[in-house]
């Protein structure tokens, strides 16, 4: 027989209600404990640069500039031509005119130096040829003089030998008393003079040999240190040519500096009369704020460029999920309109908001429903860096401003 007390307790209505509540609580705990943290609102953000008019004037845009158009860095987007008088323009024009006059004078001086250098160079060649001829003649003269000295030395040597033999004979005659002592001493003295003359000629010959060898090298060992006329002319004209080359170098330096100054003034003058519009990075035209041909003032927004290479996700979470978020955490981002489109990302920063927090105030604006509603008090703003695996499409503005869902 079954236990009646156990059956009565289990079958009691109050007991059934308690069991159902416990089961529901357990299911709710399991359900919520397995749920992932998701963003309340999120959208793709991007850096937008506004190109402003640098001066007042008339705007002339290129025909290719339109929203969604790809723009390259430094690509010409248009020009602003000034329509107002500028007090700096006349002064710049006068400066440019004076510099152009100076440049023409410098060019004239350089041309004159070039002409004179050509003439002096030809004259230098002539002096060089004359100097070479003079050198060759000098060498021939020295060689002739040297040959003459050798012959003289040869003659003196022969005379000295003959005189020495005669002196020996006179000595024998003196010993045999055929001649007197006075005559013998006279002959002996003549022989000494002849020997001395021979030694002088030898010394002179050696000096002439040294002079000839020095002359071949363009040097001078004896006599006053002077140059012949061709050599002096060549030295003088060489110094003149060197001075003219230095003067020409200085004029060329002045010419380069003057040309640079003219270019700088021309660029400054052009900037006062017309300014080019361009982007500093590759991107997509987000919108065109001013119409082609419109009159604009300095600082007027002209075109806004979206940088597709600098995009991220702004996600907003309930403050109750604060303990589940931390910088460096990996997240998954789904495109709201196409859940199959997803990316991997990393939380870079987390900021808690107090009061009313406006989103997208510096870059791409959020979807209209977020902008109207803004955000409630106590919210977490997460800046998420995305690993964009796909190539950004310019036609869709690189998905900037599109709503996404961020899951932790």
pLDDT of residue 166: 77
Report the candidate in 124, 142, 128, 130 with the shortest Cα–Cα distance to residue 216: 142
pLDDT of residue 223: 56
pLDDT of residue 276: 87
**pLDDT tens digit sequence for 133-177:** 877 777 777 777 777 777 777 777 777 777 777 778 877 887 887
Report the candidate in 315, 351, 307 with the shortest Cα–Cα distance to residue 332: 315
**pLDDT tens digit sequence for 349-360:** 988 764 444 444
Mean pLDDT confidence for 213-227: 62
Query: Does the pLDDT value for residue 333 go beyond 90?
Result: yes
Q: Identify whether the C-beta of residue 316 lies closer than 8 Å to the C-beta of residue 41.
A: yes
Range with the lowest mean pLDDT among 96-110, 165-179, 224-238? Answer: 224-238
pLDDT of residue 229: 72
Domains of the chain, with CATH numbers? 4-27+36-75+282-407 (2.40.30.170), 93-251 (1.10.287)
pLDDT of residue 353: 63
Q: Which two tokens stand for residue 380?
A: 């977490």
Q: Give Dmax (Cα) for the chain.
A: 199
Query: Does the pLDDT value for residue 345 go beyond 90?
Result: yes
Average of per-residue pLDDT values in the chain: 79
pLDDT of residue 33: 43
CA distances from 391 to 68, 244, 396 (A): 15, 65, 12
What's the CA gap between 198 and 155, in Å, rounded?
9
pLDDT of residue 90: 77
Phi and psi angles of residue 276, each rounded to the nearest 5 degrees, phi first: -90, 145
Report the candidate in 103, 104, 127, 102 with the shortest Cα–Cα distance to residue 241: 127
Task: Compute how many other C-beta atoms are within 10 angstroms of the C-beta atom of residue 380.
Answer: 21
Range with the lowest mean pLDDT among 81-90, 219-228, 272-281, 371-380? Answer: 371-380
Q: Binning pLDDT at 50, 70 and 90, where does residue 305 land?
A: very high
Range with the lowest mean pLDDT among 173-182, 218-227, 243-252? Answer: 218-227
pLDDT of residue 357: 46
| More confidently predicted of 269 and 25 | 269
Query: Does the pLDDT value for residue 178 go beyond 50?
Result: yes
pLDDT of residue 362: 46
Enter the DSSP assignment of 68. T
**pLDDT tens digit sequence for 23-64:** 555 454 444 444 578 888 899 999 999 999 988 888 999 887
Enter the DSSP assignment of 280. S
pLDDT of residue 318: 85
Query: Does the pLDDT value for residue 317 go beyond 60?
Result: yes
| More confidently predicted of 261 and 319 | 261
**Length of the chain counted residue by residue:** 408
pLDDT of residue 354: 46
CA distances from 297 to 199, 275, 291, 301 (A): 107, 12, 13, 9
Query: Does the pLDDT value for residue 260 go beyond 90?
Result: yes
Residue with structure tokens 């990316």? Answer: 343
Range with the lowest mean pLDDT among 318-322, 339-343, 350-354? Answer: 350-354
What's the CA gap between 202 and 161, in Å, rounded?
15
pTM attached to this predicted model: 0.50
Which residues are CB-contacts of 247 (< 8 A; sequence separation ≥ 6)?
113
pLDDT of residue 221: 62
Which residues are CB-contacts of 392 (< 8 A; sequence separation ≥ 6)?
308, 309, 311, 398, 399
Q: Binning pLDDT at 50, 70 and 90, where does residue 82 land?
A: confident
């Amino acid at each position: 027989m079954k236990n009646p007390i156990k059956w009565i307790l289990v079958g009691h209505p109050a007991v059934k209600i308690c069991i159902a509540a416990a089961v529901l609580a357990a299911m709710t705990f399991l359900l919520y404990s397995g749920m992932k943290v998701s963003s309340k609102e999120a959208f793709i953000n991007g850096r937008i640069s506004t190109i402003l008019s640098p001066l007042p004037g008339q705007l002339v845009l290129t025909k290719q500039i339109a929203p969604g158009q790809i723009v390259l860095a430094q690509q010409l987007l248009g020009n602003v031509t000034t329509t107002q008088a500028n007090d700096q323009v006349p002064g710049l024009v006068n400066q440019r005119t004076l510099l152009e006059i100076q440049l023409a004078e410098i060019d004239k001086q350089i041309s004159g130096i070039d002409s004179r250098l050509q003439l002096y160079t030809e004259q230098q060649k002539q002096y060089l040829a004359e100097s070479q001829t003079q050198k060759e003649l000098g060498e021939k003269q020295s060689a002739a003089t040297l040959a003459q000295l050798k012959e003289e030395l040869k003659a003196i040597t022969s005379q000295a030998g003959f005189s020495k033999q005669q002196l020996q004979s006179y000595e024998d005659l003196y010993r045999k008393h055929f001649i007197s002592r006075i005559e013998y001493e006279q002959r002996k003295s003549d022989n000494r003079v002849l020997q001395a003359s021979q030694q002088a000629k030898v010394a002179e010959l050696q000096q002439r040999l040294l002079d000839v060898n020095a002359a071949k090298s363009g040097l001078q060992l004896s006599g006053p240190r002077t140059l012949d006329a061709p050599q002096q002319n060549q030295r003088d004209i060489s110094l003149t040519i060197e001075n003219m080359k230095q003067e020409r170098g200085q004029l060329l330096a002045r010419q380069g500096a003057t040309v640079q100054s003219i270019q700088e003034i021309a660029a400054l003058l052009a900037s006062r009369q017309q300014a080019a519009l361009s982007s500093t990075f590759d991107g997509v035209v987000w919108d065109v704020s001013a119409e082609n041909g419109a009159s604009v003032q300095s600082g007027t927004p002209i075109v806004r460029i979206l940088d597709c290479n600098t995009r991220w996700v702004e996600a907003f979470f309930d403050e109750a999920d604060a303990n589940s978020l931390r910088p460096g955490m990996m997240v998954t981002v789904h495109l709201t309109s196409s859940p199959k489109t997803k990316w991997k990302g990393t939380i870079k920063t987390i900021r808690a908001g107090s009061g009313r927090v406006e989103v997208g105030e510096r870059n791409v604006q959020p979807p209209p429903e977020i902008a109207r509603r803004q955000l409630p008090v106590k919210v977490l703003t997460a800046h998420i860096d995305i690993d964009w695996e796909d190539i950004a499409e310019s036609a869709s503005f690189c998905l900037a401003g599109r709503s996404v869902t961020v899951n932790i």
